[in-house]
Amino acid sequence: MELHFHSIVMACMISPLLFLATVTAVKGPLNFIVVGDWGRKGLFNQSQVAAQMAMMANRLQIDFVISTGDNFYEDGLTGTQDSSFEESFSSIYTASSLQKPWHLVLGNHDYRGDTLAQLDPDLKRRDSRWNCYRTSILKQNLPPSCKGTKCSFVHFFFIDTTPFVDHYWNSTKHQYDWRQVSPQKRYVKKQLKGLNNALKVSQATWKIVVGHHPIRSIGEHGDTIELKEQLLPILEANQVDLYVNGHDHCLQDFTSDKSSLHFVTSGGGSKAWGGVDLNSNSEGLQFFYPGQGFMSMQITPVFLKAVFYDIKGNSLHDFSLTKS
């Protein structure tokens, strides 16, 4: 089975699953938390980050959580019955404020296990919060601006970035589960075409693209050259507001001089303090924090506010975008 954006858009229309979270009561902003690179059975401060996420989720009354991938270290899940699912997810994020839908992408470490297990409906039966797809589109209405049947809304485009990265395909160090993805070129091309088409037709007020690998980063791994070359032009051509990722175990915010796009990294869900890649390009860098943490976002029809927090819940950096 091959997934691409056309079929996902259609699947969204007929699948109650992806629309579940859109039926929210009229309230203030859409609020959510973004965390990445977390699944370590509570170790490396995963539990401490989870505790701060819970406090912020309660304060903001969040609608959902986004995971930017690397959901289970070191090698994903061994299958749908893997106890890491409880040990790193269900029994870590236990606060009632976090009992909301989780929308997840896969990271490279997830690809080192049974990737199909993370996509399997069995996991949703084990924990109903779990919504993990290779690629999907989530629509969230912004109720205060509904006029008649017309609502302002956000589109989140979740993409599968691991297959873009050439060196994983030739790795002798690790095994990657390329089932349903191979051959690389065809899958990557389909994804790019699907995303481009979906972005083009989107009438969303805000367009947010979520993937695991950064486009821009001064963290350990630096920029992902494949995404810079192949994905970035599509984001720029389609007025995407934010590209959100994990992979580098830090928090970052970059602006672009070519568009209003912000590149944000939320990859501080557990192990961090990997340092800075001093050779990398820091053009547009607004903020970098090499430790653990997470982000919150608040969105209305006219503004978007993003805040970065450390492990103690201190807000380290924020930015706001506006629409007229």
Interaction of residue 96 with ligand NAG, rule CB under 6 A = no
Tokens representing 113 are: 């296990």
Dist. CA 157–CA 211, nearest whole Å: 9
Q: Is 167 a catalytic residue?
A: no
Determine the residue with CB nearest ligand NAG: 166
d(CA 240, CA 245): 14
Break the chain down into helix, strand, coil percent, rounded to 5: 30, 25, 45
3-state secondary structure 103-138: EECCCCCHHHCCHHHHHCHHHHHHCCCEEECCCEEE
Q: Which is nearer to ligand NAG, 2 or 166 (CB)?
A: 166
d(CA 178, CA 116): 10
Write down the least CB distance from residue 150 to ligand NAG, Å: 45
Task: Using the rule CB under 6 A, give the single segment among 78-86, 165-173, 244-252, 314-322 that binds ligand NAG.
Answer: 165-173
Least Cβ distance, residue 270 to ligand NAG (angstroms): 8
Q: Cβ of residue 178: shortest distance to ligand NAG, in angstroms?
A: 11
Cβ 134 to ligand NAG shortest distance, Å: 18
Whose Cβ is closer to ligand NAG: residue 207's or residue 213's?
Answer: 213
Contact between 166 and ligand NAG (CB under 6 A)? Answer: yes
Binds ligand NAG by CB under 6 A, chosen from 96, 149, 170, 324:
170
Q: Sign of the C-alpha dihedral, residues 267, 268, 269, 273?
A: positive
Residue 47 found at the interface with ligand NAG (CB under 6 A): no
- Tokens matching residue 104: 């997840």
Please, which residue, 249 or 262, has the CB nearer to ligand NAG? 249
Q: Look-up: residue for tokens 């920029």? A: 223
State which amino acid sits at residue 32: F
Which of the following is catalytic: 109, 155, 221, 317? 221
Nearer to ligand NAG, 44 or 85 (CB): 44
Q: What residues numbered 174-213 form the site for ligand NAG, per CB under 6 A?
A: 184
Residues 244-273 that bind ligand NAG (CB under 6 A): 272-273
| Closest to ligand NAG by CB, 187 or 263 | 187
Tokens 């690809």 found at: 111
Q: Which two tokens stand for residue 111?
A: 């690809």
CA distance 7 to 2: 9
Q: Which is nearer to ligand NAG, 19 or 169 (CB)?
A: 169
**How many other CB atoms are there within 10 angstroms of residue 304's CB atom?**
23
Q: How far is the CB of 225 from ligand NAG (least distance, A)?
A: 12
* Catalytic residue ranges: 221
Residues that bind ligand NAG (CB under 6 A): 44-45, 166, 169-170, 184, 272-273, 311
